[in-house]
Amino acid sequence: MALDPKILQSLTRRVEPANYLRVTPWARRSTPLGMGFGETRFASPTKAFKLLYIAEDLATSVAEAIIRDRFEGKTIRELAQSDIADWGVCALSATRPLRLLTLRGDACFKLGISTDIVGAKAHDEARAFSQALYDTTDLDGIVYHSRLRKKNCIAIYDRAVTPGLSAQPVVQLERLAALVPALKTLKTNLI
């Protein structure tokens, strides 16, 4: 995949996220900056790198990590206590400005890449794009809008996590006072 360096440079932003949120399995609470190989939107198709995802608010983090597409075609939107019992959340902040490629707005059009990279359920194109970006640049990650909420999310490459982020301790999601209002924002009831 050929990416125009001038366009990449014009779409690179210095971003210092403060108190962005990460919803993570409770079993991994001791490593809030931990990462693994996955099948996520911008994950390496060859397992060449790992990613850490954060979102600007709790509702977006919950939508991206837990709810996803589970309510498609359903009129009742309910999460059982057991659906969230094994999840935690922590706040992360940048310790230095992160150099991120923005894929918000018309960035895909400018780069000449498919808008499916940020908007499709399927991740194949996004993963191939992310691999090319990782291999040909020294960028720290990608800032994009959640396809579910249109709020800011950041995918941070492993090479930038340790030197670029600090994390607060992980707290149980179900104990968080902000959970119910976040779920209301998502038109979801906790039962």
Residues of the domain holding 107: 5-190
Note the Cα 65 to chain centre separation in Å: 8
**Token pair for 171:** 């707290």
Phi and psi angles of residue 64, each rounded to the nearest 5 degrees, phi first = -70, -40
Phi and psi angles of residue 175, each rounded to the nearest 5 degrees, phi first = -90, -5
pLDDT, tens digit (0-9, with 9 covering 90-100), for 122-174: 888 999 999 999 999 999 999 999 988 899 999 999 999 988 899 999 999 98
pLDDT of residue 94: 96
pLDDT of residue 122: 81
pLDDT, tens digit (0-9, with 9 covering 90-100), for 47-62: 999 999 999 999 999 9
- Whichever domain contains 145, its CATH number is 3.90.228
Note the Cα 110 to chain centre separation in Å: 22
Distances in Å between the Cα of 23 and the Cα atoms of 74, 84, 134 are: 24, 10, 24
Amino acid (1-letter code) at residue 111: L
pLDDT of residue 78: 80
User: Is residue 70's pLDDT more than 80?
Assistant: no
**Token pair for 179:** 């959970």
pLDDT, tens digit (0-9, with 9 covering 90-100), for 77-135: 787 888 888 999 999 999 999 999 999 999 999 999 998 898 878 888 999 999 999 99
Domain count for the chain: 1
